[in-house]
């Protein structure tokens, strides 16, 4: 993924958020992830996509931190990248409530920020 262009990585992030939304349909609380085999499958799938989003943004951050900082502060992007680190290195500690909160409360803002970044790249 690190050889993809920033534009390709941003497109991947938007595609991933769309998949997360689809996989999050029908999940109304964090317990929905844990109560059934289907819920666990959705938790795994969503976690994998969140991990990939973090990886994509980590690669952009390495290459062009200034681009990211045009839209949000360092802490915002760092939190997303840290989520990737937790999923990658501490998968056993993944909290269904945290994943639910990310899907329920944070995806809109991420999608908006990524769309703004894509527009900024086009105007460069």
| Residues of the chain predicted below pLDDT 50 | none
Q: Which helix (H) or strand (E) holds 123?
A: helix 107-123
* pLDDT, tens digit, 9 for 90 and up, residues 40-69: 999 999 999 999 999 999 999 999 999 999
Residues across the chain? 124
Q: What does the domain layout of the chain look like in residue ranges? A: 6-123
Inter-residue contact 117 to 110 (CB < 8 Å): no
pTM exceeding 0.85: yes
- What span, in angstroms and rounded, lies between the C-alpha atoms of 56 and 9? 6
Give the separation between CA 124 and CA 54, rounded to whole angstroms. Answer: 24
């Amino acid at each position: 993924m690190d050889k993809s262009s920033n534009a390709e990585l941003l497109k991947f992030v938007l595609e991933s958020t769309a998949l997360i939304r689809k996989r999050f349909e029908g999940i109304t609380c964090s317990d929905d992830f844990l109560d059934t085999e289907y819920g666990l499958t959705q938790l795994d799938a969503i976690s994998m996509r969140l991990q990939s989003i973090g990886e994509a943004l980590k690669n952009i951050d390495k290459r062009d931190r200034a681009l990211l900082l045009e839209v949000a502060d360092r802490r915002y992007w760092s939190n997303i990248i840290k989520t990737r680190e937790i999923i990658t290195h501490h998968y056993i500690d993944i909290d269904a409530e945290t994943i639910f909160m990310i899907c329920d409360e944070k995806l809109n803002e991420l999608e908006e920020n990524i769309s703004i970044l894509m527009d900024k790249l086009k105007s460069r």
